[in-house]
A and B are shown apart, each in its own frame.
Chain A
Amino acid sequence: MNSSLFQIQNITFSYPKQPPLFQDFSLDINQEDKILLTGANGSGKSTLLALLMGIVSPQEGNITLNDTPIPALTPEIYSEVLYSHQNARMDLFGLVPRNDWELWQLAIPEKFTEKSLNLADHDLMAKFDTPYAHLSGGELRAFSLLWLPLLQDKFWLLDEPTSGLDAKHKTSFVDLCQNKEKRGYLIVSYDPVMEDSLFNRILLLEKGKLIQIR
């Protein structure tokens, strides 16, 4: 299976009063793709993920997810993708990590059972009811990635997922990527821990243009 998941067709996008970040930009992402997206600061990597999720809209061109235009996406189609924001706090729902888990339980009750709580990292679970405001940046990031093992069947769009993580959590994350089989991922990262072998495509974003390194 190598069917198309996202299709970006000739889009133009610019932030208000800024020069275009993308002009006549196209990209196809397949279900099985394992993509590393790199590029200088401000080159538009996070914006590209935001465009794919419909958080921002292009001024021209089309983006589709499973052949459905992004503005017409229903929550059911969104569930095929997991998006993780650059700022880990923005991935987490509610006041404490338990609220976030409860939301996942509402979305996928068959996977997020009470037993699933026992599978998670014990050190993190000790802070399951601690308000986000009292957690460190690294802990927030670890909580935002905590349930990835249960979300293997989704295509991951992760924006700098290892930033702030300690060595132990980085290793666990790399293991997860190595063993991910059902669908692929697109990861924005500079971290040397994300080795080239984890990816089948390496893309460099430079001045609104994509250069395929591999």
Chain B
Amino acid sequence: MTKLHPLSLILAALWFSTAAIFVPQLTWLTFAFLLCAIFRGLLTVFNLQLWWKQIKKMIPLFIAIIIIQLLFTKKGNLLWGKSWYAIYSVGLHRSIAVNLRLLILFFSAQILLILNYEDFDIAFSALHLPEEFAFMIFYTIHIIPSAGEQIQHSLQLVKFRGINMRKLPVKSQLNIYRNISLSVLAEVLSRSAVQAIALDLRGFRSAGKHTHLLQKKFSLYDIIFYLFITVITLLYLFSILT
């Protein structure tokens, strides 16, 4: 699967996230979710244990969505209960749909996170877009996971010093969190500044035709992939228009 061109991977993530946002039918959403999961699995590995570990953290959110939709959507057919705890078909449909949308968006983001800066560079150069695009989009996508890793590392440092955060007074805890957040923010800004200087040094702003050191040709896999998403999109459009 990594034989795919980076642009194909970006388009795949866009295609899945577009489906998550615009497709209302539960069957098609389930289909999009399965495709997204298979695609992500082929791209990395089918490590169900890891997937479960990642999704487990989102379970409270999923449950909250289900409860809110079931309690506050009073449309469609009555399925169970009465008065304030009555469950209607539209509420059930919406709760499942919103959770499926979240899962698809989460898996799409995972596809993008696999790509490194060079991949974005190759993808955007294939579209003849300036390197600034690759830089800005790469940074935006990676800023949250990168900050998350730094926060985890800082908390690990606290643990390695023998400090049990739970046993600390609130004031000390707040002090530690303040230091962590300031250092993470400073690190992100500092790294961005270094990256921006590195881009400037490569002369990407200079006039004239640009050349690209990193290039990759589209393969047969890419053609199969584009054909596949075209056929699925047409099938979907055909199903909603007829």
Contacts and interface: CB of A to CB of B under 8 A. Distances in A.
The dominant DSSP class at the B interface is: helix
Contact of B161 (A74, A99, A107, A133): A107
Contact of A75 (B164, B179, B183): B164
A83 interface: yes
Interface stretch (B15-23, B151-159, B210-218): B151-159
A16 B45 contact: yes
Nearest to A17: B45
Interface stretch (A26-34, A89-97, A122-130, A163-171): A89-97
Given A16-B45, A103-B176, A133-B190, A75 B162 contact: yes
B207 interface: no
B186 interface: yes
Q: How large is the interface on B (under 10, 10 to 19, 20 to 34, 35 or more residues)?
A: 20 to 34
Interface in B155-190: 156-164, 168, 172, 175-176, 179-180, 182-183, 186-187, 190
A102 B175 CA distance: 10
A25 interface: no
A129 to B, nearest CB: 13
Contact of B153 (A90, A95, A99): A90
30 contacts: A17-B45, A55-B156, A74-B164, A75-B158, A75-B159, A75-B160, A75-B161, A75-B163, A75-B164, A76-B162, A76-B164, A78-B162, A79-B162, A80-B162, A90-B153, A93-B158, A93-B179, A94-B180, A94-B183, A99-B179, A99-B183, A102-B175, A103-B176, A104-B161, A106-B168, A107-B161, A107-B162, A107-B163, A108-B162, A131-B186
Given A75-B164, A133-B186, 7 more contacts: A75-B163, A93-B154, A94-B182, A103-B158, A103-B176, A106-B168, A106-B176
